[in-house]
């Protein structure tokens, strides 16, 4: 009888869980994006003071519940020495959000190299990818089409995975076309 009730309880109340990696170089705006996302989708969540966001050493975790779906976000540090740990999370990942600082032209090639290393990893084959051109609110930043052109992986790598590029301002809390979290839910469900 316990098994029957336990199974019914899980069926009625357990959420489908998905794990989403947020990757990119340090200072790209990954943590700010995560905080804004948590603020928008978690009722009553006040969020941290965005002026006090510092470089992530290790990882930040965020959870968002949307209906019967729970998204678990892993925001990993982007410093060069921490990038070697990214692949430890790939096996359990259902989607990847890669954040690019579109205002930092000096580090675009470095970001592209980290992106290529990530996207070519066989553990992520078929995993949906959302590329965010962050800091679109700043003057003289690269446009979304510029970022799309630089980071466009070859069709062989993209394969059957869903891939999208959007412009955002994590600090101001906006996305140009659709809100990324809803898109991620669409990708993983």
Domains plus CATH for the chain? 13-187 (3.40.50.300)
Considering only residues 108 and 175, tell me which one the structure prediction assigns the higher pLDDT: 108
Strand pairing report for 69-76 and 95-101: unpaired
Mean pLDDT (the chain, rounded): 83
Query: What would the pLDDT profile of 49-105 be if each residue is shown by its tens digit?
Result: 766 677 777 788 899 888 888 899 999 998 888 899 999 999 999 999 999 999 999
In which band, very low, low, confident or very high, does the pLDDT at 42 lie, cut at 50, 70 and 90? confident
The two three-digit tokens of residue 101, written as one number: 């600082």
Annotated binding site for GTP: 24-31, 78, 134-137
| Dihedral in degrees, nearest 10, Cα atoms 188, 81, 133, 30 | 70
Instruction: Work out the pLDDT band at 141, boundaries 50, 70, 90.
Output: very high
Confidence at residue 4, expressed as pLDDT on a 0 to 100 scale? 72
In this prediction, residue 110 has a pLDDT band, given cuts at 50, 70 and 90, of very high
The answer to whether 36 is a known catalytic residue is no
Looking at 14, 36, 79, 83, which residue is catalytic? Answer: 79
List, as residue ranges, the binding site: 24-31, 56, 78, 134-137
Q: What is the pLDDT of residue 10?
A: 66
Phi and psi torsions of 36, nearest 5°: -65, -40
């Amino acid at each position: 009888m316990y098994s029957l009730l336990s199974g019914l309880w899980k069926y009625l109340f357990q959420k489908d869980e998905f794990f989403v990696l947020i990757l990119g170089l340090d200072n790209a705006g990954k943590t700010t994006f995560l905080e804004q996302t948590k603020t928008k989708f978690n009722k009553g969540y006040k969020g941290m003071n965005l002026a006090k966001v510092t470089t992530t050493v290790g990882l930040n975790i965020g959870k968002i519940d949307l209906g019967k779906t729970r998204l678990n976000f892993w925001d990993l540090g982007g410093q060069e020495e921490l990038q070697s740990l990214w692949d430890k999370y790939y096996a359990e990942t259902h989607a990847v959000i890669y954040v690019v600082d579109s205002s930092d032209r000096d580090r675009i090639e470095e970001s592209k190299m980290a992106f290529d290393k990530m996207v070519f990893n066989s553990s992520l084959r078929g995993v949906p990818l959302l590329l965010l051109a962050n800091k679109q609110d700043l003057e003289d930043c690269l446009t979304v089409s510029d970022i799309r052109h630089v980071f466009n992986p070859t069709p062989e790598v993209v394969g059957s995975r869903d891939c999208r590029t959007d412009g955002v301002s994590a600090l101001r809390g906006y996305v140009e076309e659709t809100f990324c979290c809803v898109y991620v839910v669409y990708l993983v469900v």
